[in-house]
Amino acid sequence: MTTETETDTAAMAALLERQRHAFLAEGAPSQAQRCDRLSRLHATVLAHRADLARAISEDFTHRSRHETDILELVVTVQAIDYLKRNLRRFMRPERRHVALTYRAGRAWVEYQPKGVVGVMAPWNYPLVLVLIPLATALAAGNRAMLKPSELTPRTSALLCHMLAEAFPEDEVAVILGGPEVGAAFSRLPFDHLLFTGSTSVGRKVMQAAAENLVPLTLELGGKSPAIIARGQVNRRTMEGLTFGKLSNGGQTCVAPDYALVHRDDLDAFAAAYDQTVRRFYPAGPTSPDYTAIINERHVARLDGLLEDARQKGAQVTPVGYRPESAASRPQTIAPVLVLGAGDDCAVMQDEIFGPILPVRTYETMNEVIAFVNARPRPLALYYFGERDADCEKLLAQTTSGNVCINATMMHVAQDDLPFGGIGPSGMGAYHGIEGFRAMSHAKGVFAQGRWNLSRMLHAPFGRLVDLAAR
Tell me the catalytic residues.
219, 253
Residue 96 phi/psi, 5-degree rounding, is -125, 165
User: Which of these segments, 32-40, 71-79, 117-125, 335-343, binds ligand NAD (CB under 6 A)?
Assistant: 117-125
CB-nearer residue toward ligand NAD: 201 or 334: 201
Q: Smallest distance, Å, CB 435 to ligand NAD?
A: 12
CB-nearer residue toward ligand NAD: 157 or 183: 183
- Selected binder of ligand NAD within 426, 428, 432, 435 (CB under 6 A): 426
Q: Smallest distance, Å, CB 330 to ligand NAD?
A: 20
Work out whether 141 is an interface residue with ligand NAD (CB under 6 A): no
Cβ(348)–Cβ(341) below 8 Å: yes
Residue 213 neighbours by CB under 8 Å, 6+ apart? none
User: Which of these segments, 79-87, 137-145, 191-199, 285-293, binds ligand NAD (CB under 6 A)?
Assistant: 191-199
- Selected binder of ligand NAD within 59, 67, 219, 415 (CB under 6 A): 219
Work out whether 408 is an interface residue with ligand NAD (CB under 6 A): no
Work out whether 196 is an interface residue with ligand NAD (CB under 6 A): yes
- Selected binder of ligand NAD within 186, 247, 287, 332 (CB under 6 A): 186
- Selected binder of ligand NAD within 61, 198, 275, 315 (CB under 6 A): 198
Work out whether 111 is an interface residue with ligand NAD (CB under 6 A): no
Q: Smallest distance, Å, CB 5 to ligand NAD?
A: 11
- Selected binder of ligand NAD within 11, 74, 85, 179 (CB under 6 A): 179
- Selected binder of ligand NAD within 22, 28, 183, 268 (CB under 6 A): 183
- Selected binder of ligand NAD within 126, 182, 354, 435 (CB under 6 A): 182
How many residues form the binding site for ligand NAD (CB under 6 A)? 29
Work out whether 122 is an interface residue with ligand NAD (CB under 6 A): yes
**254-293 positions binding ligand NAD, by CB under 6 A:** none
Residue ranges that bind ligand NAD, judged by CB under 6 A: 120-124, 129, 147, 149-150, 178-179, 182-183, 186, 196-198, 201, 204-205, 219-221, 253, 351, 353, 379, 421, 426
